[in-house]
């Protein structure tokens, strides 16, 4: 807001109080200008520049119009780049082609019958009644032999 005198209307002190509460700024006992500068430091130089560059015309109520800020562009969540801290590889492929898709600890060794999906180790296959890939009922689990 610069060094110009503050003449934004009678409700400016209430607006500054509200901003201080919303931003979590401790209310200073200083002048109104000092309190506004403290708020400007928190909200960034870009906003302060917008306020300084705003029209100096005063409306009939004795208040300056607020600067107009362009709305932010909408971003599709599919295109958004979020850093979740997780690997980019899906969990179902973390063990690679040879790891049991149930425990991710042992090698795949058993195939579900009748679908034929080789997807689980021996201990995990003993606990399952259906194929974890296609959810078809598994009549039995077999160890495939390559001839």
At 103-122, the pLDDT tens digits run: 888 999 999 999 999 999 99
- In this prediction, residue 61 carries a pLDDT of 59
Please give the residue that has the higher pLDDT: either 50 or 136.
136
pLDDT at 1: 46
- Cβ count near 2 (within 10 Å): 9
For residues 95 and 68, state if they share a domain.
no
The residue segments making up the domain with residue 126 are: 91-142
Mean pLDDT is lowest, of 5-14, 32-41, 48-57, for 48-57
CATH number of the structural domain spanning residue 127: 3.30.40.10
Two structure tokens written together for 36: 């506004």
Strand intervals (E) in 76-126: 110-113, 118-120
Would you state the pLDDT for residue 9? 62
pLDDT for residue 60 is more than 90? no
Q: Who contacts 18 (Cβ-Cβ below 8 Å, separation ≥6)? A: none
Greatest mean pLDDT among 2-6, 29-33, 97-101, 124-128: 124-128
The number of domains in the chain is 2
Distance between CA atoms of residues 135 and 103, nearest Å: 17
CB atoms within 10 A of CB 108: 21
N- to C-terminal Cα separation, the chain: 83
Q: Tokens standing for 107?
A: 């090698």
- Which residue matches tokens 């607006």? 15
Measured on CA atoms in the order 56, 61, 66, 67, is the torsion positive or negative?
negative
pLDDT score of 120: 93
d(C-alpha 123, C-alpha 131), whole Å:
14
138-144 average pLDDT score: 93
Residue 70 sits in the same domain as residue 117: no
Percent of the chain with pLDDT over 70: 55
């Amino acid at each position: 807001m610069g060094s110009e005198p503050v003449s934004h209307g009678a409700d400016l002190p209430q607006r500054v109080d509200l901003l201080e509460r919303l931003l979590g700024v401790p209310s200073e006992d200083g002048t109104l200008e000092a309190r506004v500068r403290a708020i400007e430091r928190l909200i960034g130089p870009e906003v302060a520049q917008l306020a300084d560059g705003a029209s100096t015309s005063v409306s009939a109520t004795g208040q300056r119009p607020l600067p107009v800020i362009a709305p932010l562009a909408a971003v599709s969540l599919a295109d958004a780049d979020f850093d979740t801290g997780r690997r980019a590889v899906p969990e179902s492929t973390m063990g690679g082609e040879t790891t049991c898709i149930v425990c991710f600890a042992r090698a795949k060794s058993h195939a579900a019958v009748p679908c034929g999906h080789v997807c689980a180790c021996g201990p995990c296959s003993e606990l399952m009644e259906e194929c974890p890939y296609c959810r078809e009922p598994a009549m039995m689990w077999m160890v495939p032999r390559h001839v």
